[in-house]
Every structure is written in C-alpha cells, then in structure tokens.
Amino acid sequence: MSKTIKATADDIWKNKVEKINSELFTLTYGSVVAQLCRDFHNDYVQVNAQLERMGFNIGIRLIEDFLARTGLGRCQSFKETAEVVSKIGFKIFLNVVPLVTNWSGDGKQFSLVLEENPLAEFVELPQDDKASRALWYSNVLVGVLKGALQMVQLEVDVAFVKDVLRGDDATEIRLKLIKVLRDEVPAGED
C-alpha cells in the first residue's frame, strides 16, 4: 500500500505538477511574513493568526487542485489521511515528505515532523527573544492543513509544537481530529 502511494506521488510530482523556482517561493513567503511583522508591530501572536488565516484561504482552494491531480477518493481512516497528507499532499506541493509519528493511543492525534522545510530556507528569526518564543514562522501550513481537511469533512485542530528556527531539535506540526463533519446537502437538492 505505502509503496503504491509513494509511486503515485512520485508520478504526479514528475508529470503533473508545474514547478516554480524554489528561491522565488521561499523569498516571497519571507517577504510576506516580514511585512506582517511590520503591519502588526511585531505582535507575533497576531502574525501567527494572520498567517493561519491566509493558509486557511489557500487550503480550502488547494484541496480542489489536490483532488483533481490525484483523483483520490475518501480516506477510510484518520491513519490513511495522515499518510495521504504527508506522502502525497506535502510531496506534490512542496516536494518533501514529513514523517508521520507520535500517534496518540486513540488514533486521533499525530505529528508531522519536517526534516526539510522549504518555507524556512535562508531564514533566521530576529535576535530578540520575543520572536523565537512567540512566532511560528511557517504557520501558513497550519491554516492550509485546516482549510484543506475541513473541505473533506474533517475538523482538525492543527498547531506547530516545535520549529528548528526557534532552536528546537525538529520542526513538528501536531494534528488532532476533532470530529468528522457530516455531509450537508444544501436545501432543495437531492
């Protein structure tokens, strides 16, 4: 199973995804974060929230692109969702495959550990303690994950728990399944 997932993802990455220059991508994201820090006068809590909001808006749209490229159907379990997010989602959009790990006993929580983070290339946080304690530089990913998963009826709590930019040993995003939303059919449609 996992082998076919990998093969599918590699194929999509190679043949169906248009690439852009990674420096363009990284530096553009950096400009956005820097601008937000200025806008919010280095209130990093607000910057995090804004990045998440921007990501959410990306995520609710990106999922359509994801489904169109992959032609995948519904996942049977949250475990499968985790695999698909990591091995296909991250692979085809960012060309990295985060490690799925730290499952909770009830199977409703797991972590994505990013060995490489394309968003954070060339990045150093400001020397002030405040930034390294409060800013989650790559927080847009949190929003993207939330938005995309919500569009496939999964209400998920997502948050960064570690970031190498802050001096942690790894970059880790925690996902927690809150509930599976019911398909709601708009009134007047069968």
* Binding residues for other proteins restricted to 11-50, rule: CB under 8 A: 21, 23-24, 27-28, 30-32, 34-35, 39
Task: Compose the 133-172 pattern: x for residues touching other proteins by CB under 8 A, - for all others.
Answer: ------------------x---------------------
Which position among 61, 108, 166, 176 is part of the footprint of other proteins (CB under 8 A)? 61
Name the nearest CA neighbour of 176 among 48, 78, 58: 78
In the block, which residue shows the tokens 């006068």? 41
Q: Check: CB of residue 77 under 8 Å from CB of residue 162.
A: no
Name the nearest CA neighbour of 9 among 119, 104, 133, 94: 94
What is the smallest separation between the CB atom of 105 and other proteins, expressed in angstroms? 35
Please report whether residue 118 would count as binding other proteins according to CB under 8 A. no
Name the nearest CA neighbour of 39 among 29, 50, 53, 24: 50
What is the smallest separation between the CB atom of 54 and other proteins, expressed in angstroms? 9
Strand order in the sheet with 99-101: 99-101, 109-114, 171-180, 154-162
What is the smallest separation between the CB atom of 186 and other proteins, expressed in angstroms? 13
Q: Applying CB under 8 A, which residues contact other proteins?
A: 21, 23-24, 27-28, 30-32, 34-35, 39, 53, 57, 60-61, 64, 122, 151
